[in-house]
Structure 1
Amino acid sequence: MLKPAKILDPPVPDTTASGERYLPISMACLQPEYRAPCDLYLKTGGRGYLFFAKKGLDFGHSHRARLQERGVTHLYIRDEDSALYFDYLKETITEIVRNPACQSEQKAAVIHSACQDIMSRVIADPRASFINQAHEIITPTIDLIVSDDTATRHLIQLTAYDHYTYTHSTNVGIFGVALARLLYRPNDFRKIERMGAGFFLHDLGKCRVPIEILNKPGKLTPSEWSVMQRHPAEGFQMLEEAGFLTDEAQIITLQHHEKDDGTGYPNALDRDNIHPLARICRLADVYDAITSDRPYAKRKSTYEALKLMKEQIVADIDQELFEHFVKLFRN
């Protein structure tokens, strides 16, 4: 199957000494059938950028192969070209998802790369325009998951690679929508679409948590844990300020760390007061965390994670919902 490019270091936006701002884009999002949407640059080390391709270049397989041989996974664009790149990304993934001649495996790979790309941008710079862009990329993703069983299976398989915060958000979004499809299908696509943004953006508030706390290898101090527990409310506030706080996103963002026994946060809700949508997100969040390499724990296999969730993580998991979740991993 198609695998996403391996990311050795999470690419981040960068501002040069002269004040020019460059944004990373995944090479997997540049499709050989389309022309380059704007000027493309290579990072040369430090804060240097080398012009690579002019807007309108027929970015074909030979360009991609040459870069891959050099170990390049990301190119860069100027900040002022971000709108051009986003329009290109939205157009290409929409066309690919709707193209009946395109294989489900390719659709899944393109969608997964696009979601990672836009989520990395939102986490690094959560301005309202980027949240809007994320929402517009999430919509065709939800459409693909709801309409194509084979593509959904490929998306589930693609979640096994690379686990930075933005990848975790992408994975939880995919799991959340796929599970919601099992529970709500064939009723209301619009309902799944509204909740989908909440699944993908559930951890947006983590961009306000200091990186040393997010990546701390040991146990958090009480003061550090207090900071970490603020991220659901921070995410709620950011979505509200950006104008994307649907009822579904509000519930998911605020409640995805609540537990049935009342030991969750931020409001210590008990089982009877936790919304089903938050339960879906919590389940996806727990699974992706267990199957990821974290600063304090090595990743577990799918089998090990599901076994652990069924037998030991009782306070976090709705067991009836869990039985539906397991179906996502059956071929």
Structure 2
Amino acid sequence: MSDAGKAPEGAEIAAEESFFSVNVDILDCVDKAPCDLYRRNASGQYVLLASRSSTLDRDALKRLQFFGIGQLFVQGQDSGCFSRILRTRLDEIVKNPHIEASVKARVVQASCRDAMRRAFDDPRGPFIRQACDMIVPTVDLIVQSDQATRYLIQLTSFDHATYVHSTNVGIFAVALARLFFGLDRAHDMHNLGMGFFLHDLGKCRIPIEILNKPGPLTEQERQVVNCHVEEGFRILEENGIITDEARTITLEHHEKDNGKGYPRGKMGADIHPYARICRIADIYEALTAERPYHRRRSTFDALRIMKEQEVADVDKALFAHFLQLFAG
């Protein structure tokens, strides 16, 4: 790759400087490096791979992926610039009818997941806003293309990382809302997307040893986990990133019709449809994810459990629409 820029290619920067990682897949949507890009060598040093505005070498990127290097790195000071350029390019890709749906889905999903990871790792306003920026083209792609939506659902990866869970739930919930509400403009899909993707942001304030505990939680631990609902709302409110949709989804997605949910113990019709959509996506993702306390279920087994035990009795219409996401 070109060595034009402020530092020669191969120059090393001390590992303790602030860097954040980006998925190599994201770079498929840009021709030139949005900012200086680095790889990390075996000793933990960050080595300049491509200088800002240099032409990206596709073959070199493919070689990195071939050798299992799926992440590159950007200096923290460049995060805003990287996010702005990436968002503009993603918007162009989503609107371009000549780009295959599978390519759109792969790039959009990787970009959104990376931004979600940064927001969960450091839930300050700039990083949450960057996540919101990446949520918009993801929502647009789901709204515009059923084929791309199917690819997005196939691309969901299941592990116990909260940001992965939240990204998956966001994709499932936006897709379900799109099916259930159609194109009714009374429902702002961008605001809904922000609420769905960030519904569990409060878990970044829950001790990791409780979130990843392999066995049953104690009652005290359960109460700590339950606090993530109001903590998530508090984070969004503190950073001035709150909408009516996000408030409703964040605060109500664990409410149950029998009144045994939390945090308010709401019942029946008092639970908003937006929260119900998020709950269905949340339950499915939890059942199909690999967790410290259970093995992941197949799609068939997860949907069977949901039908027999969880949601089909009270949310029949929503569940019927949810099943359509896995048809064909």
TM superposition score normalised by structure 2? 0.91
**Aligned residue number for residue 200 of structure 1:** 197
1:275 aligns with 2:266: no
**Aligned residue number for residue 6 of structure 1:** none
- Do the aligned residues in 1 keep the contact of 2:173 with 2:277 (CA within 8 Å)? yes
1:164 aligns with 2:161: yes
- Do the aligned residues in 2 keep the contact of 1:32 with 1:59 (CA within 8 Å)? no
- Do the aligned residues in 2 keep the contact of 1:259 with 1:315 (CA within 8 Å)? no
> Which residue, out of 60, 64, 72, partners 1:63?
60
Question: SS at 2:259's partner residue?
Answer: coil
Matches for 1:105-116 after TM superposition, within 5 Å? 105-116=102-113
> Which residue, out of 4, 7, 24, partners 1:27?
24
> Which residue, out of 226, 229, 239, partners 1:229?
226
1:68, 1:314 → 2: CA distance? 41
**Aligned residue number for residue 71 of structure 2:** 74
Shift in Å, 1:70: 2.1
Shift in Å, 1:330: 0.9
AA in 2 matched with 1:305: A
- Do the aligned residues in 2 keep the contact of 1:260 with 1:316 (CA within 8 Å)? no
Shift in Å, 1:164: 2.0
- Do the aligned residues in 2 keep the contact of 1:21 with 1:78 (CA within 8 Å)? yes
RMSD: 1.9
CA gap of 1:46–1:266, structure 2 versus 1, over 3 A, is farther
Shift in Å, 1:156: 1.4
Cα shift readout 1:60-111 (whole Å, capped 9, x = no counterpart): 3211122112211111111111112111210221111011110111111111
1:143, 1:314 → 2: CA distance? 28
For structure 2, list consecutive stretches of 5 or more residues without a partner in the other structure. 1-12
1:83, 1:324 → 2: CA distance? 38
AA in 1 matched with 2:193: G
Matches for 1:1-331 after TM superposition, within 5 Å? 20-31=17-28, 33-45=30-42, 47-188=44-185, 191-314=188-311, 318-331=315-328
CA gap of 1:116–1:163, structure 2 versus 1, over 3 A, is farther
CA gap of 1:317–1:37, structure 2 versus 1, over 3 A, is farther
**Worse-superposed segment, 315-324 or 103-112:** 315-324
**Worse-superposed segment, 266-275 or 176-185:** 266-275
- Do the aligned residues in 2 keep the contact of 1:260 with 1:269 (CA within 8 Å)? yes
Cα shift readout 1:153-178 (whole Å, capped 9, x = no counterpart): 11111124555211111111111111
CA gap of 1:127–1:27, structure 2 versus 1, over 3 A, is same
Shift in Å, 1:39: 1.3
2:21, 2:102 → 1: CA distance? 25
Question: SS at 2:38's partner residue?
Answer: strand
- Do the aligned residues in 1 keep the contact of 2:159 with 2:291 (CA within 8 Å)? no
2:167, 2:236 → 1: CA distance? 17
**Worse-superposed segment, 279-288 or 64-73:** 64-73
CA gap of 1:189–1:88, structure 2 versus 1, over 3 A, is farther
- Do the aligned residues in 2 keep the contact of 1:37 with 1:56 (CA within 8 Å)? yes
- Do the aligned residues in 1 keep the contact of 2:312 with 2:319 (CA within 8 Å)? no
CA gap of 1:32–1:115, structure 2 versus 1, over 3 A, is closer
Shift in Å, 1:190: 5.6
1:247, 1:88 → 2: CA distance? 29
Question: SS at 1:30's partner residue?
Answer: helix
2:324, 2:16 → 1: CA distance? 50
Shift in Å, 1:53: 2.1
- Do the aligned residues in 1 keep the contact of 2:287 with 2:297 (CA within 8 Å)? yes
AA in 2 matched with 1:213: I
Q: Identity percentage over the alignment?
A: 49
CA gap of 1:22–1:93, structure 2 versus 1, over 3 A, is same
Would you say how many aligned residue pairs link Structure 1 and Structure 2? Answer: 316
1:211, 1:43 → 2: CA distance? 26
- Do the aligned residues in 2 keep the contact of 1:31 with 1:59 (CA within 8 Å)? no
For structure 1, list consecutive stretches of 5 or more residues without a partner in the other structure. 1-15
CA gap of 1:21–1:169, structure 2 versus 1, over 3 A, is same
CA gap of 1:46–1:247, structure 2 versus 1, over 3 A, is farther
- Do the aligned residues in 2 keep the contact of 1:260 with 1:271 (CA within 8 Å)? yes
Cα shift readout 1:97-141 (whole Å, capped 9, x = no counterpart): 011110111111111111101000100011111111111211121
1:205, 1:330 → 2: CA distance? 33
Question: SS at 2:46's partner residue?
Answer: strand
